[in-house]
Amino acid sequence: KAGVTQTPRYLIKTRGQQVTLSCSPISGHRSVSWYQQTPGQGLQFLFEYFSETQRNKGNFPGRFSGRQFSNSRSEMNVSTLELGDSALYLCASSFRASGRIDEQFFGPGTRLTVL
């Protein structure tokens, strides 16, 4: 079974631009979560989507947004990029909608550099 895929793998942007990152979950997985990883803050939760609905959101400004399509693929968008947005953006997919345990499997990430 193919794992979580993310595109692009690397991206260089300048301040003020916007960026869109894409994530394709493991086949059959319906939940997609996004995380930001930086050396200073570690891994931080951005948001989670299930059946095209955002169910949970982390403490990030409104410049960070996302969506999920009917095939469970997800995109996240960052507008008006700032230098501090430079990070590894990770997508994770999981299978069950509810229940006590839902293992999340991470994709390889998109390395975003803002100049």
Partner 1 sequence: QKEVEQNSGPLSVPEGAIASLNCTYSDRGSQSFFWYRQYSGKSPELIMFIYSNGDKEDGRFTAQLNKASQYVSLLIRDSQPSDSATYLCAGDTGFQKLVFGTGTRLLVSP
Please give the residues from 26 up to 45 whose contact with partner 1 meets the rule CB under 8 A.
Answer: 31, 33, 35, 42-45
DSSP string, the chain: ----EEE-SEEEE-TT--EEEEEEPPTT--EEEEEEEETTTEEEEEEEEETTEEEEE-S--TTEEEEE-TTS-EEEEE-S--GGG-EEEEEEEES-SSSS----EE---EEEEE-
State the minimum distance, in angstroms, from the CB of residue 47 to partner 1.
9
Residues 44-63 that bind partner 1 (CB under 8 A): 44-45, 48, 50, 55-56, 58
Q: How far is the CB of 94 from partner 1 (least distance, A)?
A: 6
| Smallest separation, CB 77 to partner 1 (Å) | 20
